[in-house]
A and B are shown apart, each in its own frame.
Chain A
Amino acid sequence: MNYLEFEKPLAEVEGKAEELRAMARSNAEMDIEKEAAALDRKAQTMLADLYKDLSPWRKCQVARHPDRPHCSDYIETLFTDYTPLAGDRNFADDQAVMGGLARLNDRPLMVIGHEKGKDTQSRIEKNFGMARPEGYRKAIRLMDLADRFNLPVVTLIDTPGAYPGKGAEERGQSEAIARSTEKCLKIGVPLVSVVIGEGGSGGAVAFATANRVAMLEHSIYSVISPEGCASILWKDAEKMREAAEALRLTAQDLHKLDVIDRIIAEPMGGAQRDPDSTIQSVGVCIDDILTQLSSLSRDELVQDRRTKFLNMGQSGLAA
Chain B
Amino acid sequence: MNWISNYVRPKINSLFSRREVPENLWSKCPECGTMLFHRELTENLGVCSSCDHHMALSARDRLTALFDNGVFTEFEVPQPTTDPLTFRDQKKYPDRLRTAQRDTGEKEAMIVAEGEIGRTPIVVACQDFSFMGGSMGMFVGNAIIAAAQRAVQRKRPLVLFSAAGGARMQEGILSLMQMPRTTVAVEMVRDAGLPYIVVLTHPTTGGVTASYAMLGDVHIAEPNALICFAGPRVIEQTIREKLPEGFQRAEYLLDHGMLDRVTHRRDMKNELVSIIRMLMHEPPAVTGELPAPDMVETPEAQTDASQAQSADG
Q: Pick the contact of B175 from A223, A235, A306 — CB < 8 Å? A: A223
Q: Which of A24-32, A81-89, A114-122, A181-189 contacts B (4 or more CB under 8 A)?
A: A181-189
Question: B167 touching A166 by the CB < 8 A rule?
Answer: no
A185 near B183: Cβ-Cβ < 8 Å: yes
A182 touches B256 (CB 8 A): no
Chain B residues with Cβ under 8 A from A184's Cβ?
Answer: 180
Instruction: Confirm or deny: B181 has a beta carbon within 8 angstroms of a beta carbon on chain A.
Output: yes
Kindly report which residue of chain B lies nearest to residue A223, judged by CB atoms.
B176
Pairwise interchain contact B177-A309, C-beta atoms closer than 8 A: yes
Is there contact, CB below 8 Å, between A181 and B87?
Answer: no
For A249, the chain B residues whose CB sits under 8 A away are: 172-173
Whole-angstrom CA separation of A243 from B257 in the bound complex: 37
Contact present for B88 and A313 (CB under 8 Å): no
Q: A224-B169, A247-B172 are in contact. Are A173 and B184 (CB under 8 A)?
A: no
A272 interface hit (Cβ, 8 Å): no
Chain A, range 172-212, C-beta contacts under 8 Å to B: 172-175, 177-179, 181-182, 184-186, 201-202, 205-206, 209
Known: A172-B257, A223-B167, A310-B184. A166 touches B81 (CB 8 A): no
- Give the A interface residue count (CB, 8 A): 52
**Contact B210–A202 (Cβ < 8 Å):** yes
Instruction: Please give me the residue from chain A that is nearest to B255 by CB atom.
Output: A170
- Choose one: B86, B145, B167, B241; the contact of A319 (CB below 8 Å): B86
Say which residue of B183, B238, B243 sits within 8 Å of A181 (CB atoms).
B183
- The answer to whether A233 has its CB under 8 Å from any CB of chain B is yes
Residue in B closest to A235 when the chains form the complex, CB atoms? B90
Whether B258 contacts A175 by the Cβ 8 Å rule is yes
B256: contacting residue among A162, A172, A254, CB under 8 A: A172
Q: Which residue of A lies closest to B230 (CB)?
A: A164
Residues of chain B contacted by A186 (CB below 8 angstroms): 187
A174-B228, A257-B174 known; A223 vs B207 contact (CB < 8 Å): yes
Are B209 and A174 in contact, CB atoms less than 8 angstroms apart? yes
Chain B: number of interface residues, binned into ranges: 35 or more
How far is the CB of B91 from the nearest CB of chain A, in Å? 9
How far, in whole Å, are A254 and B173 apart by their CA atoms in the complex?
8
Contact string, B153-193, partner A, CB cutoff 8 A, digits 1/0?
A: 00000000000000101111111110111011011000000
For B227, the chain A residues whose CB sits under 8 A away are 174
**In the complex, per-residue mask of B81-114: 1 if CB is within 8 Å of any chain A CB, else 0:** 1011111111000000000000000000000000
Q: Beyond A182-B187, A185-B184, A223-B172, is A242–B234 a contact (Cβ under 8 Å)? A: no
A312 to B145, CA, bound (A): 13
Q: Is A221 an interface residue (CB 8 A)?
A: yes
Q: Which residues of B contact A222 (CB under 8 A)?
A: 172-173, 176
Chain A nearest CB, measured from B185 CB (Å): 8
Which residues from B are CB-within-8-Å of A178? Answer: 179, 183, 209-215
Q: Chain A 283-319 against B: per-residue CB contact (8 Å), 1 yes, 0 no?
A: 0000000000000000000000010011011100101
Partner of A309 from the list B80, B83, B171, B180 (CB cut-off 8 Å) is B180
Contacts A259-B177, A313-B81 known; list 16 others, CB within 8 Å.
A164-B229, A173-B210, A174-B209, A177-B211, A178-B211, A178-B213, A178-B214, A181-B211, A202-B206, A202-B207, A202-B211, A247-B169, A257-B173, A259-B173, A312-B174, A319-B86
Q: 5 shortest A-B CB distances, which residue pairs?
A: A164-B230, A174-B209, A233-B89, A223-B176, A177-B210
